[in-house]
Amino acid sequence: MKSTTYPLLPLYIISSLIIIAIIIGSIYSYNRSNSLSMRIDALSSDIITLTRSLSSTTAALQATISQATSSLSLALNAQQQNVGAIQQQLGGFQSQVGSLSGSLNTLQKLAQTDPELLKKYSKVYFLNENYIPAHLSEIPLTYQYSDLKQLLIYTNVLPRLESMIDAASSSGVKLYAYSAYRSFDDQKALKNDYRIVYGAGTANSFSADQGYSEHQLGTAVDMITPGLGGVVDGFDRTNAYQWMLSNAYRYGFILSYPKNNGYFTYEPWHWRFVGVKLATELHNQGKNFYDLDQRVIDGYLVNIFD
Ligand SMILES: [Zn+2]
């Protein structure tokens, strides 16, 4: 018997095996991919859920934060407004206190300032014979023309006089105090002396009647410079007089009786302290003290020693 051979059998078996393997592989891979895609689906739905909940949480958080921020800034604004209002109130109080203490200072200064110091004296308005300045000081001898008699001047005026004489000296001008405070009795005695020497008519023309002399105030000073033979006459022909005309106001001094004034004899040597402010105003406006209204002058009293 002829045996039948199947030479292709191994090939069939191998092919079948391969086909089976492919089928199993496909099924497996299909299953696998199926389960993977399911997992992916599940995951992505998880992700979507998560994203949704995250975004809603974020939105809620943002809303909360913005609400908190706005209420905080509102509270802050309110606080700032409060602070502002308080500061404004405080400022108001301070300025009130300031202006109160300012007017109090002014009142105190005025109360302490002798109103006579800026009065215009005439034959109808004059100082009482008992009037004595509140504070008088000795003029150091270096500022006096002569050391025969100790001169006195209103205490607050002394430093101004010294500064003025020092300033003149620095510009090569020699100035000295020749006469300053004179009491009612001094003035009376002086007048009598003049009367004896010159006669009553002449004496009246160059020495004020006792009582309304500015010298009794303690703020007037007669100035002199060397070269006049020890008298004040002719002072207006000197450099010292020119220097005084240009500079005395800086130290608060004015010429009481300038040339051609309608009140009293021309006295180029006679300078009265009226305060730097008033003296400067008069100098700048080319006016005379005695031409001003007394009420206008009185306005300068509070600042007379500033
Ligand atoms: Zn005088």
240 Cα–ligand 1 center, Å: 16
189 Cα–ligand 1 center, Å: 15
> For residue 201, is pLDDT > 80?
no
Model confidence, pTM? 0.65
> For residue 241, is pLDDT > 80?
yes
Which of 146 and 27 is assigned the larger pLDDT? 146
Domain-wise residue ranges, the chain:
1-112, 115-303
CB distance 175 to 225 below 8 Å: yes
- CB within 5 A of ion ligand 1: which residues? 222, 270
164 Cα–ligand 1 center, Å: 17
70 Cα–ligand 1 center, Å: 81
> Which residues fall within 8 angstroms of residue 191, CB to CB, at 6 or more apart?
203, 207, 209, 210
- The alpha carbon torsion through 143, 205, 117, 147 (nearest 10 deg) reads 20
The CATH code of domain 115-303 reads 3.30.1380.10
Helix, strand counts (H, E) of the chain: 7, 6
Q: Report pLDDT digits (tens) over 134-175.
A: 999 999 999 999 999 999 999 999 999 999 999 999 999 999
168 Cα–ligand 1 center, Å: 20
Which of 225 and 83 is assigned the larger pLDDT? 225
C-alpha–C-alpha distance, residues 134 and 118, integer Å: 15
State both tokens at 21.
């393997």
Which of 263 and 160 is assigned the larger pLDDT? 160
**pLDDT category of residue 300 using cuts at 50, 70 and 90:** very high
**pLDDT category of residue 302 using cuts at 50, 70 and 90:** very high
Report the range of poorest mean pLDDT among 209-213, 215-219, 297-301. 209-213
92 Cα–ligand 1 center, Å: 51
247 Cα–ligand 1 center, Å: 19
285 Cα–ligand 1 center, Å: 24
